[in-house]
Structure formats: C-alpha cells, structure tokens
Amino acid sequence: MSKKVYVGMSGGVDSSVTAALLKEQGYDVTGVYMKNWSKDLPGMVCPWKEDYQDAKRVAVQLGIPFKMYDFEAEYRQKVVEYMVAEYVAGRTPNPDVMCNQEVKFKLFLETCLEDGADMIATGHYSRVKDGQLLTGVDTNKDQSYFLYRVTEDALRHSLMPIGEYEKPAVRELARKFGLATAEKKDSQGICFVGKVGIKDFLLVELGEQPHGVIIDQIGKTIGEHDGAIFYTIGQRHGLDVGGGLPYYVVGKDMAKNEVYVTTQLDDNRLWKKDLQLTDLHWINQAPKAGKTYQVRTRYRAAPIDCTIDVSGTSAVVKLSEEARAITPGQSAVLYDGKHCLGGGIVI
C-alpha cells in the first residue's frame, strides 16, 4: 500500500509541482491549503482566496483530494505576535523561520498525521535525507536557512521533492504536467512581508510610534526618526537624513528612543568577528568544538567559515572574517558543507 502524503499547497508553482511529482512517484497524495492569514491591509488585498482557488484547481487537475486547514488564530499567536514583540523589543525577527517551526512542521504536521497521513510534503528548495536537512540543489533558491529550527522527527515525516531541482526546471515540470499555476509569478510569501512593507504592517498593528532623534558617529543629532522599531542594523535607505555621504544604522536604544548612524563603512559597530547566539536549536546533534563549519548570518548571505563554542542554550561563533550588519533577532545558521546543522538567534 502506498504511503499517504499530505502536500501543503499554497497555490504557487512550487507546491503544485511537489504534488504532481509525488503523485507520479506513486504516493497517495492529498492537497491541503493552509489558511494562515486573510486580513487585508492598506493598499493590499490579501490574495488568499485566489491562492486557495489556484491550489484547488491544481488538485482537480491531478485528481487528488483537497482540503483546507484554518490555522489563522494559531498563526497570529505563534508568528505574528512573536514578530511584533521582537520589533517592539528593538530586534529584527525572521517570521518565516517561526512559521516553519511552529506552523508548517509542527501544527500542520501534527494535524495531517492525526488526519491519517503518513508524511507531509512542502515546496521548499531543500532536501531531506535520513532525518537530516540538506541544502537544495539550486543554491540561489535554497531555503534551508528558514528551516533550521525544524526537528529531526518532523524531517523524518517530511518530503521536499523539488529540492532536487533548479527553479527553471520546476517551471518546465509545471508546464509538462499542464498545471494551472505553471506561469504564476512567485508569491512574496505571507501578505505582510509581501507587497506590504514591514513598516506599514507594524503601523497597522501598533499605530503611530513616538518620534526620536537620529545621532551620528560624533554624537551630533542630524535628524528625526518616526519610530526606532522601524530601523534595522545596516539599513541605509529610508533614513531621510540628506546631504553628503550615505548613512548606515549601527544601533538603537529603545529606552531612549534613539537611532545611531554612521557614514563610515569601516565603523566597528557595523562589523563583527564574533557572534553571540541564544535560543539554540540543533536538528540532529550539536556541532563539535574546534571543528570548522560555515555560517550564514542572513538568507542569501555568503557562508563564512567559523568555529563554535556551545554552552547550554547559548553559543559564541568565531568567524574567519568580519561580517557586516549582524542584526539582533536574526538567525545565524550553521552548515557542515551541504548539511544544515541548526543555529540560533543573534543577540
């Protein structure tokens, strides 16, 4: 009897091809649309109904059962409230990481297994092998960075078939299968980090923020900001302090409501050779002291050779070269070649 796989179908091309490939490989496939967010935002209609219909259309084409799980309340609690709280605390979180940890590979997985599935599948550009997470074949699209907080047990119940392909090949497969989503543009993810900027989203959630001063590298007030929560380390655009050299955000004090900037690209506040991590998560086992690994300090950042010293729930990562704009709240993810080990949150 073939394994029963529930595929998270978002209405995009990647998850559509995932479902088609698994059906072709002989799995008993069911498509599931996760309704995580449906709220419209200023200047942006949330496209969830259109995405749902696209996913359903593909399921009909493939001749597979299709259902919807409504996770909106849990998504708000686990992802949105976490994200807003992090910004209020002065950090820059990664909601995609939390969505994978709490919703897709926990809530969705548990719901599918209770519903009779043997496994779940997603349209991520990563690979799973024996409970290990590997980078996707398409290095430009690899999404292992966002998956580093998934557990080994969840991975043993997960399939990511398009991780074996480059993106153009996935488009070609969609055309070959004749899928309704073959020419659909890639989504920008959830509404509030898609066409709506994070600032606009936070204004809806929190309202106007208290204005404060922007201070340069010599301690001079050079402008006013409209809320310290909106600024992130390394940011260059949106500062509205004109004239001369560009300014970069190097820090902020939430208690004083001050944002600190510099025009000096070699300012030591912009560069770090040691990372302090907290809230560690290792997929299989913790990395070994003294061994050289690679670390990504943000999605698409080039990997940097490093060593790591783990102490309980925190760690110090020593980099082989300085990294720019290390941002509190972001994730630093460790690799051993193509193998994603896990990581932690930058403090």
Which CATH architecture best describes the domain 4-193?
Answer: 3-Layer(aba) Sandwich (3.40)
Domain 271-346 has CATH 3.50.30.20: no
* 191 tagged catalytic: yes
* 332 contacts 340 by C-beta, under 8 angstroms: no
The per-residue pLDDT for 190 is: 56
Q: Catalytic residue among 99, 112, 306, 340, which?
A: 99
Given the residues 112, 191, 306, 340, the one annotated as active site: 191
Tell me how far apart the alpha carbons of residues 336 and 330 are, in angstroms, rounded to a whole number: 20
CB 346 within 8 A of CB 275: yes
Which pLDDT belongs to residue 128? 98
Mean pLDDT, 10 residues at a time, over the chain (347 residues)? 95 97 98 94 86 97 98 96 97 95 98 98 98 97 97 98 98 98 79 69 94 96 96 90 87 97 94 97 97 96 97 96 96 98 98
pLDDT at residue number 198: 86
How much is the pLDDT for 44?
Answer: 81
Q: d(Cα 266, Cα 172) in Å, to the nearest integer?
A: 45
Where do the domains of the chain lie?
4-193, 208-262, 271-346
Q: CB neighbours (10 Å) of residue 65? A: 12
- Identify whether 99 is a catalytic site residue: yes
Domain 208-262: give its CATH superfamily.
Answer: Adenine nucleotide alpha hydrolases-like domains (2.30.30.280)
Q: What angle do CA 83, 303, 121 make, to 5 degrees?
A: 60
